[in-house]
Chains A and B, each alone.
Chain A
Amino acid sequence: MMRSPRLSIIGVIISVVSLLPVMTQATEPIQFDYMMHCQGCHLPEGQGFPLRDVPRIKNHLGKFLHVEGGREFLIQVPGSAQSDLNDSRLTAVINWMLITFSQTELPDNFQPYTVTEVSRLRRSPLVEVKSTRALLIKKIEKLKL
């Protein structure tokens, strides 16, 4: 018995669609900025590399917004403040990272960063990066998020 031609046409369509190259679609522009300015160290899934002191972003970044000084820190940290990205692109990337990598850790009243806020924060540089971060991590650990 021959198989129904309609079924085989559907089969062909499904296989062609599933084989369509991912590459024909351009990388989403905010993700492109993440790739170019962050991913080299923080890695594709934001998993970081603790063995070489690269902080984890995945399921972690949002926790900073729960503690005092954390919101400022995410912009003032050299990787953000000193990146080649202009204020609006940095704002977009940081909001994208929070939502993409750390949605579940975001506070209920999460407000995305605004360009004016980012612009103001990155102009006051952070000198004691390590100790500031350690202090924030301590505060986060106390909250048991």
Chain B
Amino acid sequence: MLNNWLDKIAEKATRKQARHTSRRSFIRTFGIALIGVSVYPLLPVFRDNAFAQEPGNIPESGDPNDCNYWRHCAIDGFMCGCCGGTVSSCPPGTVVSDITWIGTCRNPKDGKDYVISYNDCCGKSACGNCLCQRDEGDTPVYRPQNTNNLNWCSGSQADVPYHCSLSVVIGVKES
């Protein structure tokens, strides 16, 4: 009979399963999965559009969320550190504008001029916190390469919506 035949297969499979697995194996597997899931976000994955590459060991002084902080010498916008990001990384939910303008700021700690990239973070409406406008070395818009009065987000993947500005160190001027 059909039922008999099906029963036999089911019984065989169940017994085989029972012989080969311990009673606690489910708990073990579940435990591993639980740990794996919780550890996964800590893995060093490539997070493009979130962090700007910045060299280490820059002598630092001052508060990056203070408009007088040395790196902000030519900034015109909301400081990303007050908007859920940092001085060199965009807040969640925004993308960095690759196209940007680049200038230098003097670091008071070592007196050297550092090359600063003023990338905007784009894709969300204006942050509104910590407006900082210092404009040192800013050029009029008819010299667009060095003007901070442009919405650089228009050159980003996210297009026009501007959220906040970064001040990322990308080099040092030879003294």
Q: Which residues does A use to contact B, with CB under 8 Å?
A: 21-29, 31-32, 35-37, 39-41, 43-44, 49, 51-52, 54, 83
> Which chain B residues border A51 with CB–CB below 8 Å?
157
B170 at the interface (CB under 8 A from A): yes
B56 at the A interface (CB under 8 A): yes
Contact B55 A39 (CB under 8 A): no
The stretch that binds A, out of B73-81, B83-91, B94-102, is: B94-102
B104: chain A residues at CB < 8 Å are 36
Contact indicator A40/B102 (Cβ below 8 Å): yes
Instruction: A25 to B175: give the CA distance in the assembly, Å.
Output: 10
* The residue from A27, A41, A43, A52 contacting B171, defined by CB atoms under 8 A apart: A27
CB distance from B6 to the nearest CB of A (A): 60
Residues of A within 8 Å of B55, CB to CB, are 21-23
Q: Sample 15 A-B pairs with CB under 8 A, ordered by A number.
A: A21-B57, A22-B55, A22-B57, A23-B58, A25-B172, A27-B174, A31-B171, A36-B115, A40-B99, A40-B100, A40-B145, A44-B170, A51-B157, A52-B154, A52-B155
Residues of B whose CB lies within 8 Å of any CB of A are 55-58, 98-104, 112, 115, 117, 145, 154-157, 169-175
Q: Are A22 and B56 in contact, with the CB atoms below 8 A?
A: yes
Q: Complex Cα distance A57/B175, Å?
A: 29
Nearest CB in chain B: distance from A94 CB, A: 16
**Which chain B residue has the least Cβ–Cβ distance from A25?**
B172
The CA of A20 and the CA of B99, in the complex, are separated in Å by: 30
Does A54 lie within 8 Å of B171, measured CB to CB?
no
What residues on B are CB-neighbors of A39 within 8 Å? 102
Distance of A37 Cα from B112 Cα, bound (Å): 20
4 pairs of A and B residues whose beta carbons are closest in the complex = A21-B57, A27-B171, A26-B174, A22-B55
- Nearest Cβ on chain B to A51's Cβ, whole angstroms: 6
B39 → chain A, closest Cβ, in Å?
Answer: 27
What are the residues of chain A within 8 A of B101 when measuring CB–CB? Answer: 40
Q: Which of B57, B101, B171 counts the most A-chain CB atoms under 10 A from its CB? A: B171
Q: How far apart are B139's CB and chain A's nearest CB, in angstroms?
A: 9
* Cβ contact of A26, chosen from B58, B154, B175, cutoff 8 A: B175
Chain A nearest CB, measured from B104 CB (Å) = 8
How far is A44 from B100 in the complex, measured between Cα atoms in Å? Answer: 11
Chain B residues near A35 (CB-CB < 8 A): 102, 115, 170-171
- When distances are taken between beta carbons in the complex, the residues of chain B under 8 Å from A28 are 174
